[in-house]
Structure 1
Amino acid sequence: MSSEMKEPICLISNDSEGRLCVQDDAKAVLDKITQPVVVVSVVGLYRTGKSYLMNRLAGQQTGFALGSTIESKTKGIWMWCVPHPSKPGHTLVLLDTEGLGDVDKGDEKHDTWIFCLAVLLSSTLVYNSLGVIDNHALEKLHYVTELTENIRVKAHGSDEDDAAEFMRVFPTFIWAVRDFTLQLIKDGQDITADQYLEGALQLKPGHSKQIEQYNLPRRCLRSFFAERRCFVFPRPAKDSDLRRMEELTEDDLDLTFREQAEVFCSYIFTNSKPKTVTGGRTLTGAVLGSLADVYVEAIRSGSVPCLENAVETLALIQNGRAVDQAVEAYMSQLFKDLRLPVDPTELSHIHSAAEKHAVEVFIKSSFNDSEQTAQMELMRRIQSEYESFSIQNQEECLNECRSVLEQIFSPLEEALAEGVFMQSGGYQEYRDTLSAHTQEYRERTGSRIMSEEVLSQYLKEKEMFAKTILLTDQSLTEADKRMEEERLHREHLQQKQKALEEQNRLQEQVFEDQKRTYEEHLNQLLERMERESERAREDNERVLDAKLKEQRALLEQGFRDKADSMQKEIDRLKGEMKNNDESKRSTLSTVVETVGTAVGLVMPGFLSKAFGIGASLLSRWL
């Protein structure tokens, strides 16, 4: 489910004590979004036109407050969720942040946390500034130098020298330069905006305090953000029109500005990826809302937000909810299509469709269920509900068959009560009547499950009547009676066999249901793990490419020692990627074994078969 909003709402603001807090109404909006979210945040100094860019991304002229005075208009972090224009099944979440550096606010730490939250929550971070990218502009971006002090990747150990860990989870960084009036020319050659940015991020050689201060923001941007892009925008309109930007039509805007804005939006729509956390786990809107809660709560408590702890906390929050939502989806689908009594095969098909839907809901909503405990709980609850429905269906079938039997055999019961068959030739009349009623009963009940069981019980009850009538029938010889008793015994065995075949059919259906349940859960689990593994691999490759690019840049700029030092990190990354590929089969095999063992607890007797089926399914992913 996606959630389309007509206008932005506040996601994070300050409470009465001046502490950050997540707004309940915004959280409620995110809770309804079960699709993956592409999160684009914009940060920058106040009064630099951040909100206008976000309105363009939302496809609207108005929405995020623009303002026309020196006052900072946006407070906290505001959110606008819209259907993604080029990624079906995804929601675009736009986050417009409070302007940084507002002198009237005078709270530097508050600005730092706003910047950190934008980094932590987004998959693409847009830094908006005016004029040019020079040392002054980079000094204003000092927040990036404080990231390692205010964000931790791992719960234990030090992150300060492990830039690769930050690179894996940090968003794409886009520098949007507004009111840009220079020509993109260097050494007489045209350059791109990206080359302009990378040129501005070049390091100075030397070790003086001034040089270290000059290099620090540049080194942080190069070390923390694997993907960096730059877009430059001319002034959007005449000075006299800038105060009424919300009223301007497209024709009122500068043509070059419009063209650049179109290129910028197109890049965001095409290249911004769904938000993930450690391990390539993709976030839905509901998980994003919980993530915001976790980070803000850490800040409120005086702690440093930690990504590893956040993932564990999200799993606790999200997986119980995911199980409940999936069971609710199962029950809703089942009740929609179910009218008891039904043939077990039909009930099985209805159950299968409902379970498939439930597992899809669970897979979308669950998070970091690494031990598959939540999924096994879902399997147990669905199996319990299905067994309950199956028992109820059998009772309904029994009652229906008994009702049909009573209607058909009531004349026979009346005749028995009146002693109609207790006469010479009465046994044959009884047999004919019983046979005719039995045939009519089978025609009426068809292959309805439990019909033979009900008939068997009835015929067993009538055995003594049949023997009494047989013994008192004077028209039969002793030999005839013995032959008839043998025939009755054969019919009794045949009827027991029919009832047994009926039960066997039920057992076979139970096994097929269990097999389908196991395959459905395991298949979707392996699919999700494959997606996460692929995304983690992409993140690792992105980091490795960035490190190799940075190493080449360092060599070109004469920093051989730093380039040589980086080789160790590059070799470690390559080793990790190789080990990850080699451990994939082991990890998937462990999951199959874990699910197989757990399914034995949910569905006793199925365990020995589960591993064979699991091995067959596993082969598809390796």
Structure 2
Amino acid sequence: MASEIHMPGPVCLIENSGEQLVVKEEALEILSTIQKPVVVVAIVGFYRTGKSYLMNNLAGKQKGFSLGSTVQPHTKGVWMWCLPHPLKPEHTLVLLDTEGLKDMEKGDNQNDCWIFALAVLLSSTFIYNSMGAINQQAMDQLHYVTELTDLIKSKSSPDQSGIDDSADFVGFFPTFVWALRDFSLELEVNGKLVTADEYLEHSLTLKKGADQNTKRFNKTRLCIRKFFPKRKCFIFDRPTEKKQLCKLETLPEEQLCSKFVEQIAEFTSYIFNYSAVKTLSGGIIVNGPRLKSLVQTYVSAISSGTLPCMENAVLTLAQIENSAAVQKAITYYEEQMNQKAQMPTENLQELLDLHRLIESEAIHIFLKNSFKDVNQKFQRELGNLLVANQDAFVKKNNNLSSARCSDLLEDIFGPLEEKVKQGKFSKPGGYYHFLQMKQELEKKYNQAPGKGLQADVMLKNYFQSKEDVVETLLKMDQSLTEPAKEVEAERIKAEAAEAANRELEDKQKKFELMMQEKEQSYQEHLKQLTEKMKEEQQKLIAEQENIIALKLQEQEKLLREGFKSERKKLRREIDKMKKRQLCGICTIL
């Protein structure tokens, strides 16, 4: 089980120097230690609207994110607080508090747009915090939503199906939560009491007309409806009397408005229960290291003057994790082979059977830990490394066998060599006496266990190295006639030739076995890859179905509201997505 993260307080994740955004190393190091899936909750809003107070409540603390008590904004950039999730032990809660929008001390408000876009890209729940009611001024202040199409790309290149890039935003955008602070109005629409959610939906109702004022009125509302189909609204009374607001973080609960305390409890309960794990396209669950990579990739893109691209971020993350997956698979293979291979093996098949079993497990480990392996680059790398490792283990097996056989030959035939040196066979009848002893020792060698598959080769090579000794003893044996010596010499040659042929046949069999093994290895890679690709494709199709379902809901709303032109645009978008989805299904089949 991954260790819990215990941060005593927030740290700066992305610093806004006024000129550029800079990722802070301390925060990245913290993220790199979080192996659990992360639930990322980000808050955005104008300065001095109580954003940090909400986030401190989610952290279960009175103090943490800086509230400030003056007109000067405190939070600069994006601050991060990682905590054990209060309701989901296997998850980590990551809170992101952002600097106030429209900070008068900023010379350039472009960074406001980037802060807003980063909060959307990084979070699974996005909270927009504002004061008072949802009116046209509030909508105008939320113009950042309308700029997202100019700040974010979902794909690195235009979709061949002709679908607008922003059509896919709904697939990876977070749940949108609008927090209305110091709300003093009755929740009433057309004389009927409504819920906060119904109030939000009513506020997003479009106006009919083609003039500029109507288009301006509808623009932000259309973007919220299009990009954030999962929406929630919370209202909050003023927490205490005005003069006490500057001391809000030190006030005990009993000194706060009871209604406000209830509203805060309802808000935190919703966030804890319904905020989802941060997930990328393809069902990729985000943990700390993956969130770290996303932060670095997005901020790097902004700093270089390009647009943050979701597809590029996922591919960058895939490069990192696929490389690590290759290493993880190879490490497993080497550990298992070293542990389970009883070398030297008696035959090559025994080693190859073990290799095939562990190789299959290694491929499974790689595929389990990898994703979006474009053109199977990393799986091919794994395949090459597995072949190299297999060859290395075969070579090691041969070397161990050769070493063991060499020691065994020295032990068994050493006494025979000593007798030759002492001249024990340099007399009439000595050759046959030598031959008899040699055959007995050869039998002893062949019966010895654990020699490995180099046993015959090493014996042949040993006898080959002693050919001059045998030839000398044969010539010196005066008890043998010349014709008998010639017959014996021919027998020795025939025996050597037979041994050479056996070695050649053995090499051919081993070669065929290795080729067969490589083919089986290829088929194993192909089989597991095909299953993985089907699984990934099915996830993508399921995602597309979910996006289409959400768009169909919006289409129905537009139909009820009588906005035919907007409905037709959405209908064309849905039709193109269905066509793209059909292509994906055909790919699986």
Tell me if TM exceeds 0.5.
yes
1:209 maps onto 2:216 in alignment: no
Q: 1:266 aligns with which of 253, 273, 276?
A: 273
1:563-600: CA deviation from partner (whole Å, max 9, x where unpaired)? 23432222222222222211334xxxxxxxxxxxxxxx
1:488-533: CA deviation from partner (whole Å, max 9, x where unpaired)? 6786577557756765675476457635654564455445434432
Aligned residue type for 1:219:
L
SS in 1 for 2:374: coil
Q: 1:165 to 1:563 in 2, by over 3 A?
A: same
SS in 2 for 1:338: helix
1:103-146: CA deviation from partner (whole Å, max 9, x where unpaired)? 34464222111001112233432223344434343332121122
1:433-481: CA deviation from partner (whole Å, max 9, x where unpaired)? 3344334434545252323321221133345544655676677899998
Q: 2:409 aligns with which of 384, 394, 405?
A: 405
Query: Does structure 1 conserve the Cα–Cα contact (< 8 Å) formed by 2:330 and 2:385?
Result: no
**Aligned residue for 2:323?**
323
Bigger Rg, which one: 2
RMSD: 4.5
**Aligned residue for 1:126?**
127
1:189 is displaced (CA, Å) by 6.7
**Aligned residue for 1:12?**
14
Question: 1: distance between equivalents of 2:354 and 2:568?
Answer: 62
Residue range with higher mean Cα deviation, 245-254 or 39-48: 245-254
Q: How does 1:573-588 map to 2 (within 5 A)?
A: 573-585=577-589
1:448 maps onto 2:452 in alignment: yes
Question: 1: distance between equivalents of 2:363 and 2:20?
Answer: 39
Query: Does structure 2 conserve the Cα–Cα contact (< 8 Å) formed by 1:4 and 1:81?
Result: no
Q: 1:331 to 1:165 in 2, by over 3 A?
A: closer
Aligned residue type for 1:299:
I
Residue range with higher mean Cα deviation, 130-139 or 279-288: 279-288
Q: 1:95 to 1:449 in 2, by over 3 A?
A: farther
SS in 2 for 1:21: strand
Q: How does 1:119-518 map to 2 (within 5 A)?
A: 119-154=120-155, 163-178=166-181, 192-232=195-235, 243=247, 245=249, 254-255=261-262, 257-268=264-275, 272-277=276-281, 285-307=288-310, 314=316, 319=319, 322-323=322-323, 326-327=326-327, 330-331=330-331, 334=334, 338=338, 342-343=343-344, 345=350, 349=354, 353=358, 356-357=361-362, 360=365, 364=369, 368-427=372-431, 429-463=433-467, 465-466=469-470, 469=473, 503=507, 506-507=510-511, 510-511=514-515, 514=518, 517-518=521-522
Question: 2: distance between equivalents of 1:86 and 1:493?
Answer: 78
SS in 2 for 1:372: helix
1:324 is displaced (CA, Å) by 6.5
Query: Does structure 2 conserve the Cα–Cα contact (< 8 Å) formed by 1:66 and 1:246?
Result: no
1:99 maps onto 2:100 in alignment: yes
1:70-113: CA deviation from partner (whole Å, max 9, x where unpaired)? 54332211234456678888765443222223334464222111
Query: Does structure 2 conserve the Cα–Cα contact (< 8 Å) formed by 1:232 and 1:260?
Result: no
Residue range with higher mean Cα deviation, 168-177 or 197-206: 168-177
Q: 1:427 to 1:59 in 2, by over 3 A?
A: farther
Question: 1: distance between equivalents of 2:239 and 2:446?
Answer: 83
Question: 2: distance between equivalents of 1:432 and 1:189?
Answer: 115
Question: 1: distance between equivalents of 2:254 and 2:526?
Answer: 52
SS in 2 for 1:96: strand
Question: 1: distance between equivalents of 2:489 and 2:24?
Answer: 83
Query: Does structure 2 conserve the Cα–Cα contact (< 8 Å) formed by 1:329 and 1:361?
Result: yes
Q: 1:298 to 1:260 in 2, by over 3 A?
A: closer
**Aligned residue for 2:47?**
46
Query: Does structure 2 conserve the Cα–Cα contact (< 8 Å) formed by 1:231 and 1:264?
Result: no
1:402 is displaced (CA, Å) by 1.2
Question: 1: distance between equivalents of 2:524 and 2:176?
Answer: 39
Q: 1:456 to 1:554 in 2, by over 3 A?
A: same
1:209 is displaced (CA, Å) by 3.3
Q: 1:553 to 1:468 in 2, by over 3 A?
A: same
1:238-269: CA deviation from partner (whole Å, max 9, x where unpaired)? 9859845478689998355324422321101x
Question: 2: distance between equivalents of 1:82 and 1:485?
Answer: 86
Query: Does structure 2 conserve the Cα–Cα contact (< 8 Å) formed by 1:3 and 1:82?
Result: no
Aligned residue type for 1:275:
T
Query: Does structure 2 conserve the Cα–Cα contact (< 8 Å) formed by 1:153 and 1:307?
Result: yes
Residue range with higher mean Cα deviation, 489-498 or 530-539: 489-498
Query: Does structure 2 conserve the Cα–Cα contact (< 8 Å) formed by 1:117 and 1:295?
Result: yes
Question: 2: distance between equivalents of 1:77 and 1:453?
Answer: 70
**Aligned residue for 1:620?**
none
Query: Does structure 1 conserve the Cα–Cα contact (< 8 Å) formed by 2:153 and 2:165?
Result: no
Q: 1:284 to 1:377 in 2, by over 3 A?
A: farther
Query: Does structure 2 conserve the Cα–Cα contact (< 8 Å) formed by 1:5 and 1:80?
Result: no
Aligned residue type for 1:165:
D
Q: How does 1:40-79 map to 2 (within 5 A)?
A: 40-54=41-55, 63-67=64-68, 69-79=70-80
1:370 is displaced (CA, Å) by 1.7
**Aligned residue for 1:557?**
561
1:108 maps onto 2:121 in alignment: no
SS in 2 for 1:229: strand
SS in 1 for 2:375: coil
Question: 2: distance between equivalents of 1:100 and 1:51?
Answer: 13
1:203 is displaced (CA, Å) by 0.9
Question: 2: distance between equivalents of 1:506 and 1:90?
Answer: 52
Identity %: 39
SS in 2 for 1:216: helix
Query: Does structure 2 conserve the Cα–Cα contact (< 8 Å) formed by 1:233 and 1:257?
Result: yes
Q: What 5-or-longer segments of structure 1 have no aligned partner?
A: 586-622
Query: Does structure 1 conserve the Cα–Cα contact (< 8 Å) formed by 2:344 and 2:400?
Result: no
1:338-362: CA deviation from partner (whole Å, max 9, x where unpaired)? 3899336569747964885587358
SS in 2 for 1:202: coil
Question: 1: distance between equivalents of 2:273 and 2:61?
Answer: 15
Q: 1:523 to 1:76 in 2, by over 3 A?
A: farther
Question: 1: distance between equivalents of 2:584 and 2:332?
Answer: 40
Aligned residue type for 1:143:
Y
Aligned residue type for 2:230:
E
Aligned residue type for 1:360:
I
Question: 1: distance between equivalents of 2:472 and 2:519?
Answer: 49
Question: 2: distance between equivalents of 1:495 and 1:236?
Answer: 97
1:302 is displaced (CA, Å) by 3.6
